[in-house]
Structure 1
Amino acid sequence: MKNLIFLFAFFFSLSAYNQSLPNKFVFLSDVDDTILYELKYFSNHNFIGKKIDGYLTNKVILTNETALALKKVQQILLKKNLSLKIFDAYRPQQSVNHFVKWAKEIDDTKMKNEFYPDVPKSELFKRGYIASKSGHSRGSTVDLTIVNLKTGKELDMGSPFDFFGIQSHPFYKNIGILQKRNRKYLRKIMIENGFKPYDNEWWHFTLKNEPFPNTYFNFLIK
């Protein structure tokens, strides 16, 4: 009897946990558990240098439509011993607010050398690197790259994720042939599977027919 009560309580709590996501949102691992991920804003290794508000765990949340589209991409990549790797997906509005607050603290530049060496912090808003709203908060935008499963290493894209500068523009010319080829392949496979790219970041893609084009969510990643 005690075991039955325990099992009932377990499944009830699990169900309640799953129901904590808004309708049409899913954990990516429930749709495809082969896709790699490393949420940069759940760590200290990002352009701010600390964990970002709203990120309580290293779990990828997306709209169901976006997760299914990524699954299609992953199935293609796996046949080539490659895999997607997610850096960021759904992002709560409070996380965006954290970015905005940080951007106004001009003296906090401890990560400048790595992430924005050529851009004055005072110009991050003006140049569009920081904004008060983000497509990520709509749940259908992802930041990602491709990993070689044989080596376990990310493909060389010519600039790191979240590097603020022209070097991150998808068609930046002053990178190697292989780096250009890797960017082109990532862009091609994402476009062919229903995503639209962003002009300033090689890693940034949004589902073309996103279900919440005008809604910015603020639930926690937990």
Structure 2
Amino acid sequence: MEFRKQQRQLLTGLLVIVLLWTALAAVSWAAQKADRSLPEGFVYVDEVIPDIVQELRYYGSNNFTGRPVAGYNANRAILTVAAAQALQRVQQELKTKGLGLKIFDGYRPVRAVNDFLQWGKDPRDQKMKEQYYPDLEKSELFKRGYIASRSAHSRGSTVDLTIIRLETGEELDMGSPFDFFGPISRHNSPLITEEQAKNRRLLRDLMVKHGFVPYEEEWWHYRLKNEPFPNTYFDFVIE
């Protein structure tokens, strides 16, 4: 009898421990989920467009700084709900042609823009010059407006993107790579072929049709015309 009593006490103690552990785990999960919650009016793009391809360049090292940029802790694009919904309509049209969107950047934290500015102050760091700005001095990138001290991306309704073939994932030839700083990246550049210009027009026409405004210096850059936060620059981390 005494032995069975001890067994019951032991089992009861183990059950209490399991219940406590489960409760603590649930609280921890809820806290982590809360930490990842976005400000009202924002959404993860893949929640609206599940089949969009994401390659956030500032999350990795394949960008003009040659390293991950502050504020990018995940390869997961964020936009305002309005911008993501407009982009969804672009994706739907492209899919009828066997094409789709690939996103390089969306919402950009203010701390990332500040990181760009700090990078620009170091003239010794030129490791990505040949790939991204071979014909310009680093100091000219800011003077010519290729890199801004305040970015529309931080308002959440600006996106950098291209078109891919759904079957292969291959990017359409746009004549210059994303974030290449030079005249060849202008929408109306005479330095590209007719096929490259056609691909740019396809992207531009669809983006404009669904409410985006192009930036003439960069074929990949579009801002939602009726953006919901035209005067607010956000700084929450991408994670």
TM range (shorter): over 0.9
Q: What residue is the counterpart of 2:160 in the other structure? A: 143
Q: CA deviation at 1:9?
A: 4.5
What corresponds to 2:104 in structure 1?
Answer: 87
Distance 2:28 2:205 in 1: 44
Rounded to whole Å, the distance in 2 between the matches of 1:144 and 1:220 is 20
Partner of 1:46: 63
Correspondent of 1:202 among 212, 219, 228? 219
1:21 corresponds to 2:38: yes
Partner of 2:188: 171
Structure 1: gaps spanning 5 or more residues: none
Tell me if the contact between 1:92 and 1:137 (Cα under 8 Å) persists in the aligned partners: yes
* Structure 2: runs of 5+ lacking an equivalent: 1-17
Please give the alpha-carbon distance, in whole angstroms, between the structure 2 residues aligned to 1:170 and 1:151. Answer: 26
Query: How many residues were matched structurally?
Result: 221
What is the CA-CA distance between 1:174 and the residue it aligns to?
A: 1.6
The residue type paired with residue 152 of structure 1 is: G
State the identity as a percent.
Answer: 53
Alignment correspondent of 1:125: 142
1:211 matches 2:222: no
Distance 1:57 1:220 in 2: 9
Determine which of 115, 119, 122 is the counterpart of 1:98: 115
2:129 aligns to what? 112
Q: 1:161 aligns with which of 178, 203, 212?
A: 178
Retained in 2: the 8 A contact 1:103–1:130? Answer: no
Structure 2: how far apart are the matches of 1:60 and 1:115? 22
Specify which of 47, 53, 68 is matched with residue 30 of structure 1: 47
Change in Cα spacing, 1:7 to 1:103, as seen in structure 2 (3 Å) is closer
Instruction: Determine helix, strand or coil for the equivalent of 1:146.
Output: strand
Using the TM superposition, give the Cα deviation of residue 134 of structure 1 relative to its aligned residue in structure 2, in angstroms. Answer: 0.2
Q: TM-score, normalised by structure 1?
A: 0.94
Deviates more, 1:147-156 or 1:134-143: 147-156
Shift in Å at residue 6 of structure 1?
8.0
Aligned-partner SS, 1:62: strand
The SS at the match of 2:204 is helix
Offset of 1:39 from its aligned partner? 0.1
CA distance in 1, matches of 2:130, 2:33: 45
How far, CA to CA, are the matches of 1:24 and 1:135 in structure 2? Answer: 16
| 2:30 is aligned with 1:12 | yes
CA deviations over 1:135-170 (Å, ceiling 9, x no partner): 000000000000001222000000000000001001
Query: Using the alignment, how far apart are the partners of 2:35 and 2:95 within structure 1?
Result: 31
- The residue type equivalent to 1:110 in the other structure is K
Question: Greater share of helix residues, 1 or 2?
Answer: 2
How far 1:15 moved relative to its partner?
A: 5.0
CA distance in 1, matches of 2:209, 2:109: 28
* Cα distance in 2, alignment partners of residues 213 and 26 from structure 1: 17
TM-score by length of 2: 0.88
Quick check: 1:196–1:207 contact (8 Å CA) kept in 2? yes
Report which of the two structures shows the higher radius of gyration computed on alpha carbons: 2
Q: Find runs of 4+ consecutive structure 1 residues off by over 4 angstroms.
A: 1-11
Which residue of the partner structure matches residue 191 of structure 1? 208
- Alignment RMSD (CA, Å): 1.8
